[in-house]
Amino acid sequence: MTDLYELTACQLIAGYRSGAFSPVEAVRSVLERVEAVNGTVNAFCRVDAEGALEAARASRERWGRGEPLGLVDGVPTSVKDLLPLRGAPTLRGSRTVDPAGGPWDQDAPSVARLREHGAVFIGKTTTPEFGWKGVTDGPLYGVSRNPYDSGRTCGGSSGGSAAAVALGAGPLSLGTDGGGSVRIPAAFCGVFGLKPTYGRVPLYPASVFGTLAHVGPMTRDAADAALMMDVISAPDWRDWSGLPPRTDGFRDELDGGVAGLRIAYSADLGGAVSVAPAVAAAVRRVADRLSELGARVEEAHPPFTDPVEAFHVLWFSGAARLVERLDPAQRELLDPGLAQIAEQGARYSALDYVRATEVRMALGHAMGGFHRTYDLLLTPTVPCTAFEAGLEAPPDAPGRRWTSWTPFTYPFNMTQQPAATLPCGTDPQGLPIGAQLVAARHADALVLRAAHALTPAGR
């Protein structure tokens, strides 16, 4: 017998519909799992067991009447603690946020859509302070750890969400991604993560990191992510930059396969990135599998050089604006790394920012041209597997900042393209490896379709 906490959201919905089990049984199973694992991995910073069970009982009644509220009625779901969840403090991993400050009376758009569809909220997941880096540790929540090895990082900044999904502590989680923060931890924890096209999932409140910041699903597989996207991609008036609604669902296109697609495979961005051999081999196997499924795969590299300096201007300037709002006493409470990049960001001029924006626009133009030839780009998600927990970068990284070891992720925040990571094996230490699929802007359904084609049968 499979424990209910091991089931995907799609499997749970099928079970509710058939009467094989109820949302109450599923939520109890997940809550027991959270209690068993959270002390080790620190995935959740807040758990609302009583509220979750109350919502599950209401869902059970609706399913009993044959009247589910929506697409994810009764599915255990978690929310990264950068996104407002009504009734719960959103502390953003920071000691500078007063838990009593409240009133904590609204949902973020994506949370609101999930609530409207009957999702059962288990709690809030951990984040580094204000989601500023690619690992999950900080002064408020401490260190979050990898489900496969508690001595290793779970990645970040949506590390708590990735660890929760990997461990069966709810099959659906909302993450945010400003430079890889959905994809990095999903890769390190062996789960699926999607950074949608910017604006496809509405965001409110607006991020200080501007239009680099995306909201996306973190799930076991692409089918659950498509289900989640059909819920959270509905428009919300609060997001001035949100996209109009789609005319069809993401699930409608999942089974289209990859036959005939033109796929560029870049193992190392044209020799610009040093990739661990196990990672390179695993992603090579994904390329081979795509060929077996009928795609036309060829080695080709995206037409850009590393835009890290421009990204730093944009990212560090956002951090400076964040810190600017704090009084001196609050600034003393910050993660030292966040304080450092904010200090650097405050030294940039308006011209520096405009120049970085020009780099960004040129990058987007180049990738637009690239996707006239190729439907998808396949790369590693991260060039390494999970390293020691509590570090911003592995000891052998080319730099001390998190961007020094994430060259495959942040460029596509700058271009606002959809990009997903899917698990594709493990290294000799048993640590997960992720492969990244990138498509042209607005081709989110294509990314999900290709990832679904790669999902092993039975998942």
Identified catalytic residue from 22, 29, 80, 161: 80
Cα–Cα distance for residue pair 209/212, rounded to 1 Å:
6
Name the region of 110 (left: φ>0; alpha: ψ -120 to 50; beta: rest).
Answer: alpha
Identified catalytic residue from 78, 144, 181, 317: 181
The answer to whether residue 80 is catalytic is yes
Cα–Cα distance for residue pair 410/414, rounded to 1 Å:
7
Identified catalytic residue from 157, 161, 233, 317: 157
The answer to whether residue 181 is catalytic is yes
Closest CA to 26 of 51, 47, 6, 44: 6
Residues designated catalytic: 80, 157, 181
